[in-house]
Amino acid sequence: MTITITAFERSPDGGMGLARDTRVRWALEEAGLAYEVRPVSFAAMKEPAHLALHPFGQIPTFEEGDLALFESGSIILHIASRHPGLLPEDENARARAITWMFAALNTVEPPILEIVIAKFIEGDKPWSQERMPLIKGRIRTRLNQLSARLGDAEWLDRNFSAGDLLMVSVLLRARPSGILDEFPSLAAYVARGEARPAYKRAFADQLAFNTARH
């Protein structure tokens, strides 16, 4: 059965890989699965056909046969649960890897998203600059804690897992602000993720997609 995901017709980041289809592409590449990408415009995202797939009118979505999913974390958990390479066999190690997936999405990504919102959506508001130190402080707290836990390990829990895939994807969104580079061990962790052949393929494909004519 063909796997089809959706992505921005043209990502506002011009192919920097920061939109959430990149993490799904990466998981599919790690699992060795072929897939197709359907571009969706901002207008089409809010139309009934896309809303039937994604109730919040966003990307990415995932379709395979009768199954349609939204939410990048759920899509990656689905891929990782059915294909080897992204979750350990051992039950407890698997539960810990899934815990890191949730930690990436629920604990580390929210403060990082705040800075993106403050810069790009609320940048013209009079209070935007005043909020910046607070937002940066919250990000630094999380990255301090994460870097303390990672220590000098290669990955968060022994072998690379979907937990690392999501954590690296989330941390990448902190790089444009310069905050990631304040934490050399996390910057090196992200670089290890980016060096994986599956990530490189996913990144190159999204870049080509975002610079192509559809």
Chain contacts with ligand GTB (rule: CB under 6 A): 11-13, 18-20, 45, 57-60, 71-73
- Closer CB to ligand GTB, 19 or 28, in the complex: 19
- Nearest partner of 62 among 70, 74, 73, 52, judged by Cα: 70
How far apart are CB 14 and ligand GTB at their closest, in Å?
8
- Closer CB to ligand GTB, 113 or 132, in the complex: 113
Query: How far does CA 201 lie from the centroid of its chain?
Result: 15
How far apart are CB 8 and ligand GTB at their closest, in Å?
7
Tokens of 28: 């599919």
- Closer CB to ligand GTB, 4 or 185, in the complex: 4
CB crowding 91-130: b at 16 or more within 10 Å, else e: eeebebbbebbebbbeebbebbebbeebeeeeeeeeeeee
Place of tokens 């689905």: 78
Question: Is the sign of the CA dihedral 17, 21, 22, 23 positive or negative?
Answer: positive
Residues in the chain: 214
> Distances from the Cα of 43 to the Cαs of 70, 105, 125, in angstroms?
18, 26, 26
Q: In angstroms, rounded to a whole number, what is the distance separating the alpha carbons of residues 36 and 49?
A: 18
- Closer CB to ligand GTB, 85 or 176, in the complex: 176
CA atoms within 13 A on the CB side of 101: 23
How far apart are CB 111 and ligand GTB at their closest, in Å?
15
- Nearest partner of 67 among 16, 4, 122, judged by Cα: 4
- Closer CB to ligand GTB, 55 or 126, in the complex: 55
- Closer CB to ligand GTB, 88 or 194, in the complex: 194
- Residue 66 DSSP code: T
